[in-house]
Amino acid sequence: MSNKTPAAGIMVTVTQFVPAAADDGKSYTTATVKLVGNANGTVSQATPNGAIRVDRGAVVDLVFAMAPASPETYYPVGISFLGHNGGVGMDDFPTRTIDVDAFNGMTLTVHDANLDSNVFDFKLVVQRQSDGALGIIDPHINNA
């Protein structure tokens, strides 16, 4: 990620882990999603667990981190996008990186280069440390 791109921190706390079932696609892990950094005022969240809004025309890095949970530990391991008008967001979200920091855990960063008010559905993939099971979280992020 570019050091010149403002970053918005998004803290994810798993509240109920549901292993992803390959055959139903509707079993989502529930989580609290809270904005913890506003990328120089270009990213906002009206209420905790409400939709996260990225201002139209703003280019930002969205940094997902998992809050500590007990007794399980979760890691952000992937993300996908689907535009409401089709497309998978490869031009709008050109890079994704996973970083491991020995002190603060693992983060997943997405470069949001969507300059239009296109709306995408996000799916955040998390992995449970104890058994490697994957879960899918559906955070609400709007480019408006």
Q: What is the pTM of this model?
A: 0.88
Has residue 114 been placed in a domain? yes
Whole-number pLDDT of residue 22? 60
Return the higher-pLDDT residue of 30 and 142: 30
Residue with tokens 């960063």: 109
pLDDT by residue (tens digit) across 15-74? 999 998 766 666 789 999 999 999 999 999 998 888 899 987 889 999 999 998 778 999
Whole-number pLDDT of residue 25? 61
Has residue 21 been placed in a domain? yes
Has residue 2 been placed in a domain? no
- Residue 2 pLDDT > 50, yes or no? no
CA distance 132 to 23: 18
For 73-137, the DSSP string reads: -EEEEEEEEEETTS---TTTS--EEEEEETTTEEEEEEEE---S---EEEEEEEEETTT--EEEE
Q: What is the CATH number of the domain that holds 68?
A: 2.60.40.420
Q: Please give the tally of structural domains in the chain.
A: 1
CB 14 within 8 A of CB 126: yes
- Residue 3 pLDDT > 70, yes or no? no
Residues near 112 by Cβ (< 8 Å), separated by ≥ 6?
54, 58, 59, 60, 61, 62, 92, 93, 143
The two structure tokens encoding residue 120: 């995408």
Return the higher-pLDDT residue of 141 and 37: 37
pLDDT by residue (tens digit) across 80-131? 888 777 777 778 888 889 998 866 689 999 998 887 767 778 899 999 999 9
Has residue 1 been placed in a domain? no
Q: What is the domain range of residue 79?
A: 7-143
Has residue 138 been placed in a domain? yes
Whole-number pLDDT of residue 136? 93
